[in-house]
Structure formats: C-alpha cells, structure tokens
Amino acid sequence: MQKLGRKLSLLGAVMALFLVGSIVFAAWLVTGEGNGAAQATTAEDLVVEPGTTSADLYPGSDGDVELTIENPNAFDVAVETIVGNGPVTSGSAGCTTTGVSFADQNDVTGMTIAAGATINVSLDGAASMNNSSDNGCQGATFSVPVTVTAQSN
C-alpha cells in the first residue's frame, strides 16, 4: 500500500507540474490594426548646361548641339524630348542675325539618367545655319535654349 501511495504521490506531482507548466506556457494572442505612413519625395527639375562644342557649323550646313543634363533626383529618369524654347543667340558682337535654328528632338529613346548623375549629350545635326548668317558669326559659339522633358523610370 505504501508503494501505491508513493506512485500516486509521484503521479500527482507530475500532473501538478504539467498543469503549472501548461499555465505558464499559455499566452494570449493579440492583434492590432492601424495605418502606417509613407511620403512621396518632391521631384526636382533637371539641370541643363551647354556642353563642349566643336566648330562644325557653317552657312548651309547642320551641326551638333552639345549639352549636359544633371538629374538631381533620388530616382532614375528617362528623357523623352529635347525641344527648343527660344531663339538661338550668340555673344559675338558682329553676329546679330545668327541664321541658326534648332531641330526639336521629339523622340528621344534609350536616354536614361541615373539618380544623382550627369550625362553628356550630343544631338547630331540638331543645329542648322542658313545663308542669312552675319559674316561676324564666324567662330561664334551659339546659345541654344532647350527644354528637356523626362519621366521617372
């Protein structure tokens, strides 16, 4: 009988330990709902500057337009168009009638500017000089105002 009492005591101790362990192990599941926050950045304009040119323009010919484009944004952009936005001018005193025009680039494809990058662009044959150019335009460098349109990529 004493053995049976010991076995029952041992069984009771194991059951008590299991019961206490189950209570300690038990946890409540909780959930929560709410809203997170995100904010869109503000896009910055591209920075367009004149590039280094070569003297390939003369009356009756086409020449290249060189420029650099800087993308100050935190995202890549794909250039879509480069179009003229004013008259072509020259800083040379004897070159008042430049006779120079710019051919809009309405289908620029494959020109991607990485975030924070600057690229050099050569628009082959985009400038043309007609025969009305002043003789004083020889050796002149022309300012070709353009607008560059790009889309986030």
pLDDT tens-place string over residues 39-67: 999 999 999 999 888 888 999 999 999 99
- Greater confidence (11 vs 93) lies with 93
Q: Cβ(111)–Cβ(71) under 8 Å?
A: no
The answer to whether domain 47-152 has CATH 1.25.40 is no
Provide the residue type at 131 as one letter: N
> Does residue 17 carry a pLDDT above 80?
no
Residue 2: pLDDT band (50, 70, 90) is low
Q: What's the whole-number mean pLDDT along residues 108-117?
A: 95
Q: Say how far apart CA 84 and CA 90 lie, in whole Å.
A: 15
Distances from the Cα of 19 to the Cα of 7, 12, 15, 113, angstroms = 18, 10, 6, 67
Collapsed DSSP state (helix, strand, coil) of residue 151: strand
Q: Which two tokens stand for residue 62?
A: 């086409």
Nearest to 134 by CA among 65, 102, 88, 103: 88
Whole-number pLDDT of residue 102: 96
What percentage of the chain exceeds 70 in pLDDT? 85
Q: Can you count the helices (H) and strands (E) in the chain?
A: 1, 9
Whole-number pLDDT of residue 131: 93
Q: Say how far apart CA 131 and CA 141 lie, in whole Å.
A: 17
Strands (E), the chain: 47-50, 61-70, 77-84, 89-90, 100-102, 112-113, 118-129, 142-143, 146-152
Highest average pLDDT, of 89-93, 117-121, 139-143, comes from 117-121
Whole-number pLDDT of residue 60: 94
Q: What's the whole-number mean pLDDT along residues 8-28?
A: 67
